[in-house]
Structure 1
Amino acid sequence: MRRWLCLLPLLWLAACQQPVPPGPAADGALWLERSAPARGADQRVRFLVIHYTAGDFPTALATLTEEHVSAHYLIPASPPQRGGKPVVWQLVPEQARAWHAGASGWGDRTNLNDTSIGIELENPGFEPRLLGQRWFRFPPAQIAALSVLAGQIVQRYGIAPQNVVGHADIAPQRKQDPGPLFPWQALAAEGIGAWPEAARVAAFLQGRPPQQPVPTARLLALLAAYGYPVTEGMDSEAQRRVIAAFQMHFRPADYRGLPDAESEAIARALLAQYPPGR
């Protein structure tokens, strides 16, 4: 009998460490029955959208905390340090919707405000020049902070690599951010976003000159399969903007929007690495 009495505290402790089975739980004036969870549910957050502010930090902070536009996070060009860690501004809770994407589309989704988290990076964007545009680089400290934040978000919501996108990717007719100097390849190497494997690109290029023209419709079909918003009836300039957005992301050395063999090879490589619907 004494032996059993000694074992009782141990048995009680073991029982307390078992997971609590689903069942009714008190919530204020209600009991919530949780024993029959539905299978038809998934994460609200499916996309991570990267922006630049096209202005300085104080202006961006004022704009993003007004009524009509917002983002979940804002990262300064030179994040201050607190306790040896960079400070990032959270402006909207992740579970809430921010107004950052606007009219947008990716894959079979539209209005990406509903299903995305938006991160704004302090960056002037570009300034016009006589022979084009001068783009501004992203400081290493800013990208280091972004890498930590984006890595946490991607892991938290299981965001697929092809769903880490720029504002230009989801709204190519009106946006260019984060621009051709954004380090997509470096982030992809850390598990944040997609990047085509060089060997795959070379295989799909099949020895063709990179600038060899390809049919516009064929390239646009590949971009649409990957996720880019391609619609019927687009004029030539609208088609060029979609191709330019893709090139700015995956081949920033030349983003004139011309349909060429290298762009086609990159698109095919991406589709092979990240199959649609996966």
Structure 2
Amino acid sequence: MKVITATLMLLLLAGCASGPRIDTSYSSVGHDSRSQFIVLHYTSTDLPRSLELLSGRDVSSHYLIGESPATIYRLVDENRRAWHAGESEWNGRTWLNATSIGIELVNRGYVQSADGRRLWYPYSDAQIDALVVLLKDIMARHELKPGAIIGHSDIAPQRKVDPGPLFPWKRLADEGLVPWPEAGAVAVEQMRYASEGLPAIAWYQDALAAQGYRVPRHGHLDEETRNVIAAFQMKYRPARFDGEPDAETAAMLQVLANQAKR
């Protein structure tokens, strides 16, 4: 009797361990990927230190791309949440670790010169080539649209500047991966703003919010608003990202808004 009882108990435990019986004969079409964004970063250090930091407990990313050779390392499965975004917001979504795939590129970022200027490190062509291939693969598998790729400086403009002004966003745009304001249309709008006058600060704040940025909406040009303007400029006009709400910045915002309506 004891042997029979023990056998029954083992069978019951085995059944519990295998989980519930689930009918999978039906499937909903109302779903999409949990990953809605791809966030790009630089590591601010070399490859050995990058691997050490990103394979630890405090910070992680789904992918790391070396500089030379441009090896792609997968550090976290895409189905798992990596800890790369921190306090962040884009298009009203906050704490983007839960809804994004993080890609770190080995790049030292910048050094401070004697006169206080930031001297930025460039990215290698091979590294960007590898990134483009990876981005296209991720976007195809997760059915993401252009605009899903953003920088750490976009989602946290008050505290982050990566991937920096030397990151080639235009190259990604040429590959069809990110929206880009058409140069001719920007020139026309810039002339209009130069002759008619600049929009109010509230207009810039609303336009930046429409792009996805978290920005104050009080109509004042405070430091927080300047930081968001600078983040936008760093992406679309990296030669000058001074945070000034000028005619060219207004033109780029207007053209991007017009293109999004097409």
Query: Given the two structures, how large is their TM-score scaled by the length of structure 1?
Result: 0.81
SS at match of 2:147: helix
1:29 and 1:171 map into 2 onto residues whose CA distance is 41
Residue equivalent to 2:232:
246
Runs of 5+ in structure 1 lacking a partner? 1-27, 80-85
Pair 1:168 & 2:153 matched: yes
Residue equivalent to 2:204:
219
Residue among 82, 92, 107 paired with 1:123: 107
Query: What is the letter of the counterpart of residue 250 of structure 2?
Result: E
The answer to whether the 8 Å contact 2:62/2:103 transfers is yes
Query: 1:193-222: CA deviations, max 9, x gaps?
Result: 221111232333244449x75422211110
Query: 1:145-174: CA deviations, max 9, x gaps?
Result: 111111111111122222210000000000
The answer to whether the 8 Å contact 1:224/1:230 transfers is yes
Pair 1:62 & 2:89 matched: no
The answer to whether the 8 Å contact 2:234/2:241 transfers is yes
- The residue correspondences of 1:1-278 to structure 2 (distance < 5 A) are 30-79=20-69, 87-129=71-113, 130-209=115-194, 213-232=198-217, 236-275=222-261
SS at match of 2:22: strand
Query: What is the letter of the counterpart of residue 120 of structure 1?
Result: E
Matched residue pairs, number?
243
The answer to whether the 8 Å contact 1:173/1:241 transfers is yes
> Deviation at 1:271?
1.8
> Deviation at 1:273?
2.0
SS at match of 1:162: coil
Query: What is the letter of the counterpart of residue 163 of structure 1?
Result: A
% identical equivalent positions: 46
Q: CA RMSD in A?
A: 2.2
2:260 and 2:64 map into 1 onto residues whose CA distance is 29
